[in-house]
């Protein structure tokens, strides 16, 4: 299948697959990159996982995830920093060039977003050179504002860039994920800013569909099922100079209930139709976003 | 009870109350303003509802809601405009100075956010003078970005101001609601901008709590139960020159399950503790936001 030179399958999209199934399935489909998660990698062994993917002709686009660096409590903070150093070591063992960091939410009882962001910056000051020493680049991922209290006090690409630009570009970049950023009209300008500074460390794609499920975590849309102009997002990142892997990362109970190979085939078909090509939106009557209540 | 001169109870906070119960209950508690919704007002009769609240010494702070003005389909568009004119007439009959407009989401099959916003502007061009002729001011409410696809293509206060500043300030303002805006670090500056231009038409309060329920609609937090610095939000609006009513508008299945008078008493106590006073956050161990999953 052509057009897949930059496609990466994030393993959360096919959570039903083991690491060996992922490697075999991706190789069989002509995929060249995979995005991996710490849990399954740790279970398999990081070095062994690295060998496994390389043996199938694959490269790791990113390891998810470190972060959660907002606690002001000394013990929790020390534990978080140790965990992030372990994640860096795991990324290095695995051969992942990028470690994705989810900054973390507000500490219990706090409403101080700027203070929490500052603690992320303080943590990066130590972690960034540590990661660089291991050949790993950190990437701050701004998450949708609906996660601002419990997952990420960094909600916009602009906030993420304000944060990472305090560190060398080769040590700390950003993750641009369409699911988190699609609604924000400042993103085109901020993607250009990120590109100019060489700060786009990873690009991830999922579509936006409603209604959101309870907890708002596992309802991401398959590419083309929602309202995000994925082609435009991809083009903007490309115009900004990003030439790296493009990860499909879709947390979806619907996709997890299917056969892994079929989910991958569907994802690749959607990637070519909605990401690489300019889709004719009107030709997709099954588009899933809708007014759920007036 | 002192400190309630500006407090307004939005009737969605006590959905279990009929309009007469709302009027009696608010008057008994020393409340001076109520925020009303079209459904119950229409059922009771707008003019009769106006008489009812005035007979209890109350004033209407706002009527919710018109809007949903993003459809490009001629028939749907004409119906939406007619519905909004009816809402204006209802507000006038009721004696509500402000009609809240929820702009509307993306039309089915569309990913064109700027185009949808432009259709809201086109609608306002006709509706704003119509409303002014009825003594009613329109107020655009930016909704949290998690509603961008299905409820409001206007997600930030900055976008709302960019939109309303195309019209006279006495005809079109904005609603600043803490639930929708709390996460955004540009809000303090945008509230100042809104105040300078005389654009703050209404102020609404709810707290942010997680996890979000399915559909993300009915999980707003009672004042003080979440992570929003409500006092700071209130102070910023006051510093920007806003001196109007302050509505507690809390869509919460927990509150609707309680006794209306008890919910109002709790809300008033929370209003004085977390909005009027600077709370000692550390003194509130039951604070409800939390990390739901790492």
Residue B203 phi, psi dihedral angles, 5° rounding = -125, 130
pLDDT at A280: 58
A287 has a pLDDT exceeding 70:
no
CB contact under 8 A, B109 and A281: yes
Nearest C-alpha neighbor of B170 from the set B141, B190, B199, B191 = B199
Sequence spans of domains, chain B: 7-283
pLDDT at A2: 72
pLDDT at B278: 77
* Chain B residue numbers touching A112 (CB-CB < 8 A): 229
Q: Does the beta carbon of A215 lie under 8 angstroms from any beta carbon of chain B?
A: yes
For the stretch B73-108, pLDDT in tens is 999 999 999 999 999 999 999 999 999 999 999 999
Q: Which residue of A has its CA nearest to B66?
A: A294
pLDDT at A3: 84
Which parts of chain A fold into alpha helices (H)? 19-29, 38-44, 46-55, 74-94, 113-133, 157-164, 178-181, 187-196, 230-239, 253-256, 260-270
Axis crossing angle, helix A230-239 with helix A187-196, rounded to the nearest 10: 30
CATH number of A7-283: 3.20.20.150
Q: Does the beta carbon of B2 lie under 8 angstroms from any beta carbon of chain A?
A: no
A157 has a pLDDT exceeding 60:
yes
How many Cβ atoms are within 10 Å of A282's Cβ, its own excluded? 9
How many whole angstroms separate alpha carbon B261 and alpha carbon A84?
50
pLDDT at A283: 42
pLDDT at B3: 83
* Chain B residue numbers touching A212 (CB-CB < 8 A): 146, 212, 214-216
Which pair of structure tokens corresponds to residue B169? 């300030």
Q: What is the dihedral of CA B89, B91, B92, B93, to 10 degrees?
A: 90
**What band does A66 get if pLDDT is binned at 50, 70 and 90?**
very high
Q: Which residue of B has its CA nearest to A69?
A: B294
For the stretch A220-279, pLDDT in tens is 999 999 999 999 999 999 999 999 999 999 999 999 999 999 999 999 999 999 999 976
How many whole angstroms separate alpha carbon B190 and alpha carbon A275?
35
Region B131-153: mean pLDDT is: 98
**What band does B280 get if pLDDT is binned at 50, 70 and 90?**
low
**Tokens 């096919």 sit on residue:** A14
CB contact under 8 A, A216 and B215: no
Q: For residue B29, is it left (φ>0), alpha (ψ between -120 and 50) or beta? A: alpha
Q: A residues 114-153 near B, CB within 8 Å? A: 114, 144-146, 148-151
**Residue A140, preceding peptide bond in cis (omega within 30° of 0):** no
Q: How many Cα neighbours within 13 Å face the side chain of B8? A: 25
Helix, strand, coil % over all residues of chain B, rounded to 5: 45, 15, 40
Distance, in angstroms, between B158 CA and closest chain A CA? 11
Q: Which residue of B has its CA nearest to A209?
A: B149
């Amino acid at each position: 299948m052509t057009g897949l030179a930059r496609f990466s399958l994030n393993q959360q999209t096919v959570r039903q697959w083991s690491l060996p199934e992922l490697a075999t399935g991706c190789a069989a489909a002509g995929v060249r990159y995979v995005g991996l998660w710490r849990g399954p990698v740790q279970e398999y062994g990081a070095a062994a996982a690295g060998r496994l993917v390389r043996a199938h002709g694959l490269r790791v686009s990113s390891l998810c995830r470190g972060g959660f660096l907002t606690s002001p409590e000394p013990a929790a903070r020390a534990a978080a920093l140790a965990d992030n150093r372990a994640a860096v070591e795991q990324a290095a063992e695995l051969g992942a060039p990028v470690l994705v960091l989810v900054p973390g939410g507000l500490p219990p009882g706090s409403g101080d977003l700027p203070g929490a962001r500052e603690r992320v910056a303080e943590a990066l000051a130590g972690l960034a050179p540590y990661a660089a020493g291991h050949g790993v680049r950190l990437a701050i991922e701004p998450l949708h504002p609906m996660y601002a209290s419990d997952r990420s006090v960094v909600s916009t690409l602009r906030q993420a860039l304000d944060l990472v630009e305090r560190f060398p570009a080769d040590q700390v970049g950003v993750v641009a994920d369409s699911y988190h950023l699609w609604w924000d009209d400042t993103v085109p300008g901020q993607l250009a800013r990120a590109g100019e500074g060489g700060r786009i460390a990873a690009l991830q794609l999922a579509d936006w569909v409603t209604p959101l499920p309870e907890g708002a975590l596992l309802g991401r849309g398959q590419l083309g099922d929602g309202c995000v102009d994925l082609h435009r997002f991809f083009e903007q990142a490309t115009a900004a100079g990003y030439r790296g892997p493009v990860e499909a990362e879709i947390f979806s109970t619907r996709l997890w209930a299917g056969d892994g190979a079929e989910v991958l085939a569907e994802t690749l078909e959607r990637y070519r139709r909605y990401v690489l090509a300019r889709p004719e939106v009107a030709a997709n009557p099954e588009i899933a976003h809708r007014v759920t209540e007036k």
